[in-house]
Amino acid sequence: MIAEHLALFVASSLRLAMPLVFASTGELVSERAGVLNLSLEGMMLTGAFFGAWGSWSTNDPLLGLLIGVLAALIVALVQAWLSVSVGANQLVVGIGFNILALGATTLLYREVFGALSRDAIPGFGKWHVPVLGDLPWMGTALFQQTGLVYLGLGLLLVTWLALDQTAWGLAIKAVGEEPRAADQAGVAIRRIRYGAVLFAGGMAGLGGAFVSLGDIHTFTENMTNGAGYLAITAVIFGAWRPGKTFLACLLFGAATALQFQLPDMGVTVPTTLLLLLPYVLALLAVVGAVGRTAPPAALALPYRRG
Amino acid sequence: MKSLSSALARPLRDRRSLWTLVAIAGSVATGLALVALTSGSIWDALGAFGDGTFGSAYAFGSSINRAVVFALVGLGYILANRANLVNVGGEGQIAVGGMFATAAALNHGISGLPAGLAMLVPLLSGTLAGGVWGAVAGWFKVKRGTNEVISTLLLTFIGLLLVYGAVQSEALLRQPMTSSATLPESLEIPDATKLPLLFAASGSPMHLGAPLTLAALVLGWIVLARSKFGFQLKAVGYNPVAARRAGIDDGKVVILSMAIAGALGGLAGAMMIQGEQYSLKSGFSSGFGFDGLVVGLLARGSPLGVLLGALCFGFLRSGGIAMEITARVPAAVVLIIEGLLVVTIAAASQLAAHKEGAS
Amino acid sequence: MGGDAATPGSAPLVLDGISKRFGPVQALRDVSLRIAPGEVHCLLGENGAGKSTLCNIIFGTLAPDQGGMRFGAGPYSPDSPAAALAAGVAMVHQHFSLVGNMTVLENLMLGQVTGVPNRKAFAERIAELSGAYGLKLDVSRRVQDLSVGERQRVEVVKCLMREPRLLLLDEPTAVLPPDEIDALLAICRRVASQGAGVVLVTHKLAEISKIADRITVLRGGLVAAQASQPNIEIPALVQAMIGRELKSLDLVLAEELGLTPPPESEAPPAAPAHAHLPAETQEEPALMLDGLDFVDDTGVRRLDEVTLLVQPGEIVGLAGVEGNGQSELGAILAGLAPPSAGRVFVAGTEITGRSPAFITAAGAGIIPEDRHAVGCIPALSLAENLLLGSLSDYTRLGLLRRRQMRRRALELMAEFDVRAADPDVPFRTLSGGNQQKAVLARELNLRPLRFLLAAQPTRGLDVSAVEAVAVFLREAARRGVGILLISSELDELMAIAHRVAVIFRGKIVGESPAEPAHRQHIGALMSGHGI
């Protein structure tokens, strides 16, 4: 009985962490390159809506996923233009995009889905991984998830390696730390930053589409409900490092899973405490109570040559 | 008076303002197009917008009440920003301000005080709580070097969740549960603790907060333009090391300015409860802190800009609600207009700066 | 790499009528010059003459308003440093362009590698190259932990790795001790001998006579003079550089700054301005440093048992190559960092670890080495900067009394010859010299004033401003103020100070009177020899 609950808990923690894993992995790269996307929430919401809409109208969740990512990429492109080329205040633009995305998806949802809003849309089913999925405890916990979960974990791994081992990762970190030095070493600042923001957008789109297509199989107004902010929080708590950020996402996912599971098990813990956990932990991290963390030196600062 | 009139004249002259006007016009035009697409009659929608803003004493008063909140948060933002601090925590400061104001107002000892004090003490409690919420971020910045954008953002989420928790638990602020239908919100605060309405007879909900806010804006303008403290803010903002060298306690200035910004947010939260809502609900701050932040960001350091921005957003919000109710325009359209306004104004000010730099 | 054959296809860089304007300032005006392969071309000029702007245009950081360039066969108009690097142009920047929290290896790899680089092979390539040029590097260290000289080595290696056809060096010797300067000049010569053009920006005349094949003098954005070996005449170039007769300068100062040839004999110069050392007094010393230690965040000992006395009326020079603890000492005296051990007294009052306000009240004025970071607030007005430390005197009921501030500022401007259209103009619009005079005006008007720290007070100033600073310092000493003058320019110390102490790796390693006979000894101490 306990083992069953535990396996279920691990499985739902992972599932609930996945939107954060997608979005925070993208945002991490963007922040390491010096661009803060407070608009991550808006990008996720955009991905969630257009993923749902695409899947609903093509009847193919995979096409829906692509459409969701594409829509988020368009938002990211505008965000990149404003942050990198125009040099607008990244906080303002981010908040503006979140308001805009909330308005636009809500409006489109009502116009497009209208009365059909209660219907489920074609989404991704769970993938029972051969052999591994049959393992007694591990199977339930880890290997009966939608394929998107494994895609997310794969992308995380690739990003981690790329940041650590490639010339591209080196350039990203230099651009976020000392853009002037990177520029004078011949690194194309704009290209790197555009690329990083687009990557964040694509990943946020995947994260959003995961919510609508991989988890809930429908769209509701404001369905990401702050997941974008939580992903940014995970990046902060993860000290701008991929491994720690992933662990932060898992922790936040676990906190959410507990809210649902503890009452089931007859345990009453004030949900407020579980909801507070991610933010309190992140705050403790940034004030140096649990290990010292410093953001990339050029975070949110536009670069102008000369 | 001379500098006030020149401040009024300046926006019309510089190029940035021109671009800003273009941004506003473009956003509003997009909004109108959406209204036409979604509601059928643009004139009905505009009529509803008019009714919802200036159409009645009630509409006008509730628009002003919204503007009051935006203005206080925006003023706090520009004060702290003068010291080069970015307070994005208005929403959380409103939340804790409203929460503590409610707690104080529901305390029998306080509500039993003579009339003026019964109102004043909760107002000050909220202000103080917001001040502490802001000061904490300043203190982290000074003592631990924590970026205040990050800490105020996190403190906002924490503040919002504290309100959520407070109205979930009877041991805290939730009203006594008489049935399963009892809403998770506080009791209504006693009449003695409510802010007096200015034009109660006309049905206007405008409360004492409006003149208080106007006074705060004037005071803010004097502090920024004329006072030694305003100068110290500026000096610390431009160059904390040089300011310290000149004998200014830059750490104190940072904490104090964040405390003031937070206190203004807390005051706004207290006014929302004591002036209009009368009971604490989860999410009562409804994003007003972020709207106020945007007002502060777009005001470019000027209290007059805060006033104009706050009025603009106050009426936009009220008109939007009216459009939804009477002309069945989705409220989402107003969100779209607001989002577009924020993004395009931010871009416009920067684009104009580029052009000026290039010429 | 390291081959001595001239790179095939090397060609001159030709600048044709380059002009560049920043707002009201015409930084370059119709500058034409030719840098031939294989030559070391020195760019000489005072601060603000346009040397750095010219380098930045060649390196693609700035675009010229008018004029064009040719490099090799065709036109050359780089729109970014990346384009310049691709064309074979490399640059060592005056303010280093390295990423502090990355290792030396990562900094060198940046922009040089693609895909998944092989770190080990790359490190070997660096080892080979730096070995060939005698540039010692530990590639695993973080750049932020390196000394200024080591950082410059990284910059130089970064350039050499690209095997440039044109190497630009913007004031590279300002941060180096004498022997490292020679090593750097040798590298310049070697690069040139391999067929590349080398542009060396400097204001040190000694270097020019050592290495220049050709010299271009800039003044006010114009080419003021050009000369080639063997027809380089230093006095004529100096005159072209400062734009007026040498005779109009303070003689001692001009000589010590190297603007006139040093006297052949060891005879003391005539009537040095600092000949009158005040008589011993019974007063407390203006400054007393007692066993000062400073260990920084990373655990490095930056100051080691520094003990020093400055008597009232005395100017003590602290000589040393940059990065030997002077900045830390300055920060401690300014109240911006507490010492790890030891005590500091100003006119008998202990100020160890006290706040800047306390230190000011004890009678210490501070001319900080980094004028823009510590000395002033460029975005504020001139008047506000002049009165930054005495705001309380101009406050009533919490409000500032602008009219009184303005009146006082005008007085100070007149007294200290600070030239500006109005006290309310932004400080940043002033020239470097006028900014420094304003900082001096503020600090010298503190009451009481018993001690003055002047850290690198003439850095980045033109000759007439240097002269003014020297005059103000001497005048203050005559009034009985004890002065500690920190400078990495030995010439300047010899000209102004009564006595010179030498700091090396955070330790006072020697002391001697500021007399020409001791010059060589002091120079040796600065680079760690003869201790």
Chain B interface disruption, residue of C384, C394, C399, C443, most B CBs within 10 A:
C399
Question: Under an 8 A CB cutoff, do C356 and B235 touch?
Answer: no
User: Please, which residues 63-82 of chain A have a Cβ atom closer than 8 Å to chain B?
Assistant: 82
Distance from CA of B152 to the nearest CA of C (A): 27
Residue C269 pLDDT greater than 60, yes or no: no
Distance from CA of B127 to the nearest CA of A (A): 23
Residue C275 pLDDT greater than 50, yes or no: no
Measured distance CA(B100)–CA(C127) in Å, rounded: 65
Of A89, A100, A275, the CB nearest to B297: A89
Question: Under an 8 A CB cutoff, do C400 and B245 touch?
Answer: no
Of C375, C379, C392, the CB nearest to B238: C379
Percent of chain C with pLDDT over 90: 56
Range with top average pLDDT, A190-199, C85-94, C136-145:
A190-199
Does residue C166 contact residue C124 with C-beta atoms inside 8 Å? no
Chain A interface disruption, residue of B154, B294, B355, most A CBs within 10 A:
B154
Residue B74: both structure tokens together = 């925006």
Question: Under an 8 A CB cutoff, do B245 and C391 touch?
Answer: no
Of B155, B164, B342, the CB nearest to A272: B164
Does residue B246 contact residue B235 with C-beta atoms inside 8 Å? yes
ipTM of the complex: 0.88
Residue C144 pLDDT greater than 90, yes or no: no
Does residue B148 contact residue B86 with C-beta atoms inside 8 Å? yes
Measured distance CA(B113)–CA(B123) in Å, rounded: 14
List of chain A residues whose C-beta atoms are within 8 Å of the C-beta of residue C59: 184
In B, minimum Cα distance to C333 occurs at B245
Question: Under an 8 A CB cutoff, do B330 and A97 touch?
Answer: no
Question: Under an 8 A CB cutoff, do B335 and A288 touch?
Answer: no
Distance from CA of C286 to the nearest CA of A (A): 41
Chain B CB within 8 Å of residue A229 CB: yes
Does residue C418 contact residue C427 with C-beta atoms inside 8 Å? no
Of A107, A279, A300, the CB nearest to B333: A107
Residue C123 pLDDT greater than 70, yes or no: yes
Of C355, C373, C389, the CB nearest to B241: C373
Measured distance CA(A255)–CA(B130) in Å, rounded: 28
Residue A160 pLDDT greater than 60, yes or no: yes
In A, minimum Cα distance to B156 occurs at A279
Residue C350 pLDDT greater than 90, yes or no: yes
Task: Render C313-328 in DSSP notation, one character per residue.
Answer: T-EEEEE--TTSSHHH
Question: Under an 8 A CB cutoff, do C101 and A177 touch?
Answer: yes
Backbone angles phi, psi at A261, to 5 degrees: -85, -35
Question: Under an 8 A CB cutoff, do A178 and C85 touch?
Answer: no
Chain A interface disruption, residue of B343, B351, B356, most A CBs within 10 A:
B343
Residue B236 pLDDT greater than 80, yes or no: yes
Question: Under an 8 A CB cutoff, do C388 and B228 touch?
Answer: no
Residue range A49-72, pLDDT digits in tens: 999 999 999 999 999 999 999 999
- Number of H helices and E strands in chain B, helices first, is 15, 0
Confidence of residue C442 (pLDDT cuts 50, 70, 90): very high
Residue range A9-42, pLDDT digits in tens: 888 899 999 999 999 999 999 999 999 999 999 9
Question: Under an 8 A CB cutoff, do C109 and A166 touch?
Answer: no
Chain A CB within 8 Å of residue C3 CB: no
Distance from CA of A39 to the nearest CA of B (A): 11
Question: What value does the mean pLDDT of chain C take?
Answer: 86
The three-state secondary structure class of B31 is: helix
pLDDT for the residue A65: 95
Question: Under an 8 A CB cutoff, do A177 and C102 touch?
Answer: yes
Confidence of residue A268 (pLDDT cuts 50, 70, 90): confident
Contacts of B220 (CB under 8 A, 6+ apart): B75, B78, B79, B303, B306
pLDDT for the residue C7: 44
Chain A CB within 8 Å of residue C379 CB: no
Question: Under an 8 A CB cutoff, do B339 and A280 touch?
Answer: no
In A, minimum Cα distance to C114 occurs at A167
Specify the amino acid at residue C112: Q
Of A138-147, A193-202, B314-323, C421-430, least confident by mean pLDDT is A138-147
Chain C interface disruption, residue of B221, B245, B250, B359, most C CBs within 10 A:
B245
> How far, rounded to the nearest angstrom, does the alpha carbon of residue C481 sit from its chain's CA centroid?
26
Residue range C286-298, pLDDT digits in tens: 999 999 999 987 7
pLDDT for the residue A3: 79
Question: Under an 8 A CB cutoff, do C377 and B231 touch?
Answer: no
Measured distance CA(B292)–CA(B70) in Å, rounded: 4
List of chain C residues whose C-beta atoms are within 8 Å of the C-beta of residue A167: 109, 113-117
Chains linked to A by 3 or more Cβ pairs within 8 Å: B, C
Residue C107: both structure tokens together = 């900094």
Of A174, A188, A305, the CB nearest to C102: A174
Question: Under an 8 A CB cutoff, do A300 and B149 touch?
Answer: yes
In C, minimum Cα distance to A184 occurs at C81
Q: Between these two residues, A160 and C370, which has the higher pLDDT value?
A: A160
Distance from CA of C388 to the nearest CA of B (A): 6
Which residues in chain A belong to E strands, given as ranges?
Answer: none
Question: Under an 8 A CB cutoff, do B333 and A103 touch?
Answer: yes
Distance from CA of B166 to the nearest CA of A (A): 9
Distance from CA of C467 to the nearest CA of B (A): 25
Confidence of residue C523 (pLDDT cuts 50, 70, 90): confident
Chain A CB within 8 Å of residue B321 CB: no
Chain B CB within 8 Å of residue C63 CB: no
Burial of B351 (0-12, 13-18, 19+ CB in 10 A): buried
Does residue A96 contact residue B348 with C-beta atoms inside 8 Å? no
Dihedral of the alpha carbons of B256, B260, B262, B263, in degrees to the nearest 10: 130
Chain C CB within 8 Å of residue A57 CB: no
Residue ranges in C324-381 assigned as alpha helix (H): 326-334, 356-361
Of A91, A107, A236, the CB nearest to B330: A107
Measured distance CA(C92)–CA(C147) in Å, rounded: 16
Of C61, C91, C113, the CB nearest to A167: C113
Residue C272 pLDDT greater than 60, yes or no: no
Residue range B124-143, pLDDT digits in tens: 999 999 999 999 999 999 99
Distance from CA of A222 to the nearest CA of C (A): 40
